[in-house]
Chain A
Amino acid sequence: MARAATTTDAFNAVAEPRRREILDLLADGERPVNDLVELLGIAQPQVSKHLRVLREVGAVEVRDLGRQRLYRINVEALRPIHDWIGNYERLWSDRFDQLDLVLEDLKAKEQESVDDE
């Protein structure tokens, strides 16, 4: 039996490998449960349990289409995780903002030397 879900935020919800696999699959687009069962090779009750945890933290959303329930990823709820990448991105952003200043300088100097000729 899988443990009861005590998960309350996106970080914990995605710490479970199977749930990461599910998110991975849903990152390619909306899918019905049966698709996920087939692709993951685990029983439907297990998949449903994982989907419920993911829904509770808002990491996935569901809609009914005819007889199918379609699941999709909710990027907004996963933002804290994107922020992980964001910090490294900011390092480069800040670095390049400084590079902008250096380039302004180089452009000015190049202009000066043209004016001197």
Chain B
Amino acid sequence: MSTTNNKAKLTLPTDEQILIEREFDAPPHLVYAAWTTPELVKRWWHAKRGEVTLVEIDLRVGGRWRYVMVTDDGREVGFHGQYREIVPDQRLVSSESYEGVPEGVSEQDATTVNTATFAEAGQRTMVTLLIQASSKASRDAIIESGMEAGLQDALELLEQLAASLR
């Protein structure tokens, strides 16, 4: 199986963006299917950090989506958004809002616009996922969300850092 040498590559093209790139050993129509079919999304989106308990996908422009996951330590996290552009097997643009933002954070600050592209490379697919946040602070908060608990103190010092240190 081709899991070991396919590491996701993350870069920060601008202060408000996160770019994730990863090649898959399957043609685009299958990657696209796994990306847009609820029962398939349930099988991979958990990232081994819990269980995906809900996946709703209304795959049309203006249609809504919602994912809910219960993490191994019992927290429920939800995300939802709306599809903005759909090119089957090639490109998917959608908004994404995190449902657990602290009080006082605006809807806009909690929302990103995500562009996923599925580019054919032989029998393989290069997936690029561009996450566009509304501000650098929001972008950094998203990166911080990937952090394990206990390192929050260190993170407070680092909130402003990501772009300058790439």
* Most chain A CB inside 10 Å of its own CB: which residue of B12, B34, B49, B144: B34
* Residues of A with C-beta under 8 A to B30: 103, 106-107, 110
Complex contacts, B20 vs chain A, CB 8 Å:
89, 92
Question: In the docked arrangement, what's the CA distance between A110 and B142, Å?
Answer: 36
Q: A27-B164, A88-B10, A106-B34 are in contact. Are A98 and B48 (CB under 8 A)?
A: yes
State whether A27 touches B166 (Cβ < 8 A): yes
Docked-complex contact B147 and A87, CB < 8 angstroms: yes
A100 B148 Cβ-Cβ under 8 A: no
Q: Which of A11, A89, A93, A95 contacts B45 (CB 8 A)?
A: A95
Q: Chain A residues with Cβ under 8 A from B3's Cβ? A: 97, 100-101
B contact residues, range:
35 or more
Closest to A81 in B: B165
* Contact status A84-B47, CB under 8 Å: no
Nearest CB in chain B: distance from A80 CB, A: 8
Report Cα–Cα, A88/B147, bound state, in Å: 7
Contact digits for B91-134, partner A, Cβ 8 Å, 1 yes 0 no = 00000000000000000000000000000000000010100000
- Bound Cα distance from A91 to B10, whole angstroms: 11
Q: Which residues of A contact B44 (CB under 8 A)?
A: 95-96, 98-99, 101-102
Residues of A within 8 A of B148 (CB): 87
Across the interface, do B24 and A99 meet the contact criterion of CB distance under 8 Å? Answer: yes
Asked whether B31 is an interface residue with its Cβ less than 8 Å from the other chain, the reply is: yes
Which residues A73-90 have CB closer than 8 A to chain B? 78, 80-82, 84-85, 87-90
Which among A17, A90, A99 is the interface contact of B34 at CB below 8 angstroms? A99
Inter-chain CA distance A106–B96, complex, in Å, is: 27
14 more contacts with CB within 8 A, not counting A85-B162, A95-B45, A104-B26, are: A12-B157, A14-B165, A84-B155, A87-B146, A88-B10, A88-B18, A88-B147, A91-B146, A92-B10, A92-B47, A98-B48, A100-B24, A101-B3, A103-B31
Binding site for B on A (CB under 8 A): 11-12, 14-15, 17, 20-21, 23-24, 27, 78, 80-82, 84-85, 87-104, 106-107, 110
Binding site for A on B (CB under 8 A): 1-3, 6-10, 12, 18, 20, 22, 24-26, 30-31, 33-34, 40, 43-49, 127, 129, 142-148, 154-155, 157-158, 160-162, 164-166
15 contacts across the A-B interface (CB closer than 8 A): A84-B144, A84-B162, A92-B20, A92-B129, A94-B49, A96-B8, A96-B24, A98-B44, A98-B47, A99-B24, A99-B44, A102-B34, A103-B24, A104-B26, A107-B30
